Structure 1
């Protein structure tokens, strides 16, 4: 045999090389690469729990649930029992899901976790948060922590910055919360709906849409007093609670967070709870192109001190009341408001 003939016999055909590579890839697949699993009952009594990787003539290669690759002759198989995989079961459960019900989303997220369907579980945990942004379990699973009135992704720059902010003592002395708390007019049960005082002007008034994002601890207040306080400044201004629909010319966005900061002690004995009210108000005007332009921003942080024996809910409520009044007083001093006849509202700590 000539050397050239030997070389030709030694070199595999290109098609054989491709087939070998393909079979090698199949045999190195992990169990997660397989989309189904069956029970193969053999003549010798064995039962293989696994998935078919390849079929070549009468030979069948099966990857078992333990990851072992077993090649057998087709004639050895007595019966193949098809089973539903977790993904099959997920699709069935998904069809029965009411996407608007938090219980359904939560239960499916938990089931997906137990079935090790991580991508699907993540999807439903996120849906839980969309329905209830303050759901503790979902936030925890997604890697969030609650710090100073908001959720932050664990390990993020936002979390680090927020923790650093709360480590420092307030720059100004904390306002002492009085023993007797007086309900404001808009919170009194006898007042009914929020009083529209002063009366809303109709002609020649600039309409300001107010969007609120408020939290007392982890809950939103039952009703907001912000619009009531803003209307107290008078002038040719009409403050209306609502949302930016893309058409309104002026929007006032206000974010308020009132939260417990820490317990102060003296030689181990509790003496006072420290709370904080934070607010950020942003004023937007729509330009001739229809885009919203930020014109004014004001931020504030107000510390409060309360007896350690007082319920935290009461102290948070007072923190909220004073924070509202402070925000409204700041806004009433903006030049845009003054140009429309507003009066400066008194700061809460002034007569």
Structure 2
């Protein structure tokens, strides 16, 4: 069977339409401005239909606009958004940055990832509304956009609604052993027998299926961040649940601590901490479960360990994507603008200060190399 099968079948009861930012005066100013602090409604559609494609690009002097601007979507007259995310993260662009990204449902296209595209189908039965909030002190000088959709006479009863939700957490190291994770050979590795301290990327109520995750990790350590297992508790079941993974890189269909860009239509690593020591810095992983969605009848709690046993301090941000029946469980309040900003990148000066503290721990020796911890105990 081809992905193009069915494209030749003639259709009835649907009409193709578009809402865009084209210049209504007939000139070439094909964009809309959004003032600082303003919420702009970019699409309002009546009746039933399916959004098939969204494209947009932004011009502004705010270099963090992709975290400062917030995308929201509402289906069927609902008051709570089914989609709520910083605009960059939704399209697969972490940390307010712009870089190429390629997958089947989402892409950030040339130039330099500035062309933002979404191909997730988004059905609605009684209308749809899309807004963009410019949560910035600077104006969005120009937002260019297409919303391509189909009008339908009606939709079937069993069609789920598209959802996407952004979360972020600065995870905590183990209060007793720090960021040991069994790698520092100081204390034995602890077993993991529950998911209570995991990073939760989806907390869903209702009937539906989970279809994808963008995972943005900022790691303040040169050590590998990817030993954490993915865990899926379906319909209120107890740990270990119906699906239990073997490591973060395994969930993203890679292996053996990858550190290279690789973009498959369903999974990959779109950005790596290139040039940094070990795994220090920012990495963007993604997986779209289009062939293997996770189905649930009543609820889904999906989570990832931050290091084996949840021992690593990581700045984790995710966008989860799924379809479900409405109404959905309202999302936690989106962090304010300050709560969405980046933690500064660590640099060579920070690493040098760590070395100074290491010297102090070993008595201030002037010829300490850095491997003494393997055979000696620090003083104090």
Question: What TM-score comes out, normalization by structure 2 length?
Answer: 0.21
Larger strand share, 1 or 2: 2
**Larger radius of gyration, structure 1 or 2?**
1
Question: What TM-score comes out, normalization by structure 1 length?
Answer: 0.22
Larger helix share, 1 or 2: 1
